Amino acid sequence: MTFFLSLHPNNKLYKTTYMQTTMNNVASDVQAAYPQCINELKSNNRTQAMLWLIIAVVLFIIYNQQPEKDTTLGLVQISLVALCVVLAVYKFFSTSSKLIYSPTGSAVKKQSYSFNISLQADLLHCLKEGNTARIKAFKNDDAGGLLVEFLESEDHLFTAARLFKYEPHGYEDKTGWIIMKS
């Protein structure tokens, strides 16, 4: 999988955009490769939406009880009402998802590390051995052309990793997901 954006990998905007794009694809990539290990838990935010809507209604009632609505306080209150309504609508139509390690039910967190291109052979060797501690011990280099993504369960019973190499205008997956602990 390659993501194209004409920015250099040292650029924070590039890395942020890249991470957000790949995080959306992580669940489907890992589930396709190892369906018995990872599940994606999607949840609706409708209860949060109702909470924001209730707060907006309460603020609006307080605003209407005031005799002078043209004061600074009144403008702040009506602005908060508008903000709460916007948040309620956003939460109502959005869904959040998180990755779950199926056998234990623990949440799976994603971590990314950048490394210098000169460490590619060492990183590939460590990935094949399943040595996550050694990979994390290498010097992290934000200007590097290599990126290692880890998925690790909170109980540390599951770890998966993959290696990306920066090619002009994007990172290219070099290894695919490698299960290191399961």
Q: Is 6 exposed, middle or buried (0-12, 13-18, 19+ CB in 10 A)?
A: exposed
Long-range contacts of range 135-138, CB-CB < 8 Å, 24 or more positions apart? 135/161, 138/113
DSSP 77: H
- Three-point CA angle 175, 178, 182, nearest 5°: 180
Q: Residue 121 carries which side chain, given as an amino acid letter?
A: A
Tens digit of pLDDT at every position of the chain (182 positions):
333 333 444 454 444 444 444 545 665 676 666 666 677 767 777 888 899 999 999 999 998 998 887 888 888 999 999 999 999 999 888 877 777 888 888 888 888 888 888 888 888 888 888 888 888 788 777 667 888 888 888 888 888 888 888 888 778 888 888 887 75
Give the single-character DSSP code of 145: S
Closest CA to 148 of 109, 175, 181: 175
- For residues 8 and 32, give the distance between their C-alpha atoms in angstroms, rounded to a whole number: 30
